[in-house]
């Protein structure tokens, strides 16, 4: 899931705004308004005369993205300011705000699911590294015996070969044998 400018703004305001007084939130709103105007002016300037690739710093922010982020932060700080005024809070506590808390829970649920899927994927990859995939060419008589064993056991021929390999024993002299077993 890709975070939009609004998502980044919500997260940033929740982290940076926790514990701020109403005055601190007012200052954050004012700063966001100034930054929004500045980045919008930079964006407009970049649209009028786009920089050539050679002139651009390799890790410079995209002016359009930066303008979007500050506009979203300004909106989010306004939302927090209105919430504090309507609720009569003296200090901003993100957990108390229903909208912000619901968003944070949704993001945390998504994050936990992503981490769970990632761990399962990594486990599958580890298991795959331990697997051996091989193509075996058998003589016609050996192939017929494997197919007959598979049909009797109700499994596929490749499962019979895998079970044979699982039960195979190497002797001290290097000989390989398979003790009697019933394919399943």
Domain holding 23, by residue range, is: 5-96
User: CB-based burial of residue 124 (10 Å sphere; 0-12 exposed, 13-18 middle, 19+ buried)?
Assistant: exposed
Is residue 23 in some structural domain? yes
Q: What is the pLDDT of residues 69-124, one digit of tens each?
A: 999 999 999 999 999 999 899 999 888 888 888 888 888 898 899 999 999 999 88
Q: Using the structure block, give the residue that is written with the tokens 């300011």.
A: 81
Can you give the pLDDT at residue 53?
Answer: 57
Is residue 182 in some structural domain? no
Task: Summarize the confidence of residues 133-145 as an average pLDDT.
Answer: 88
Q: What is the pLDDT of residues 54-64, one digit of tens each?
A: 455 666 677 88
Can you give the pLDDT at residue 26?
Answer: 93
Under 8 Å between Cβ of 100 and 94: yes
Closest CA to 62 of 1, 3, 70: 70
Q: How many CB atoms lie within 10 A of CB 69?
A: 21
Can you give the pLDDT at residue 169?
Answer: 92
Q: Based on the fold, state whether residues 88 and 155 are members of the same structural domain.
A: no
Can you give the pLDDT at residue 98?
Answer: 82
Q: Based on the fold, state whether residues 70 and 145 are members of the same structural domain.
A: no
User: Looking at per-residue confidence, does 48 or 155 come out higher?
Assistant: 155
Can you give the pLDDT at residue 55?
Answer: 58
Q: Based on the fold, state whether residues 68 and 144 are members of the same structural domain.
A: no
Q: Based on the fold, state whether residues 89 and 162 are members of the same structural domain.
A: no
Task: Summarize the confidence of residues 150-175 as an average pLDDT.
Answer: 90
Q: How many CB atoms lie within 10 A of CB 110?
A: 11
Is residue 114 in some structural domain? no
Closest CA to 142 of 160, 166, 169: 160
Q: Based on the fold, state whether residues 92 and 170 are members of the same structural domain.
A: no
Is residue 82 in some structural domain? yes
Residue spans of alpha helices (H) in 55-139 = 63-87, 98-130
Is residue 129 in some structural domain? no
Under 8 Å between Cβ of 10 and 102: no
Q: Based on the fold, state whether residues 33 and 89 are members of the same structural domain.
A: yes
Q: What is the pLDDT of residues 3-25, one digit of tens each?
A: 788 888 888 898 898 899 999 99
Can you give the pLDDT at residue 127?
Answer: 81
Can you give the pLDDT at residue 170?
Answer: 92
Domain count, the chain: 2
Q: Based on the fold, state whether residues 147 and 88 are members of the same structural domain.
A: no
Under 8 Å between Cβ of 146 and 156: no
Can you give the pLDDT at residue 66?
Answer: 87
Is residue 74 in some structural domain? yes
């Amino acid at each position: 899931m890709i975070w939009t400018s609004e998502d980044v703004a919500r997260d940033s305001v929740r982290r940076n705004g926790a514990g701020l007084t109403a005055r601190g939130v007012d200052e954050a709103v004012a700063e966001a308004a100034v930054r929004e105007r500045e980045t919008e002016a930079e964006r407009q300037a970049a649209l009028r005369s786009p920089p050539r690739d050679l002139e651009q710093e390799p890790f410079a922010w995209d002016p359009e993205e930066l303008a979007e982020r500050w506009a979203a932060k300004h909106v989010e700080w306004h939302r927090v300011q209105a919430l504090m005024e309507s609720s009569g809070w003296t200090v901003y506590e993100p957990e108390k705000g229903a909208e912000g808390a619901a968003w944070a829970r949704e993001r945390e649920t998504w994050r936990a699911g992503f981490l769970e899927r990632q761990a399962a994927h990594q486990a599958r990859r580890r298991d795959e590294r331990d697997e051996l995939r091989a193509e075996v060419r058998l003589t016609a008589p050996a192939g017929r015996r494997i197919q007959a064993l598979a049909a009797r056991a109700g499994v596929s021929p490749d499962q019979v070969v895998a079970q044979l390999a699982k039960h195979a024993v190497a002797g001290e002299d290097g000989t390989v044998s398979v003790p009697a077993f019933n394919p399943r």
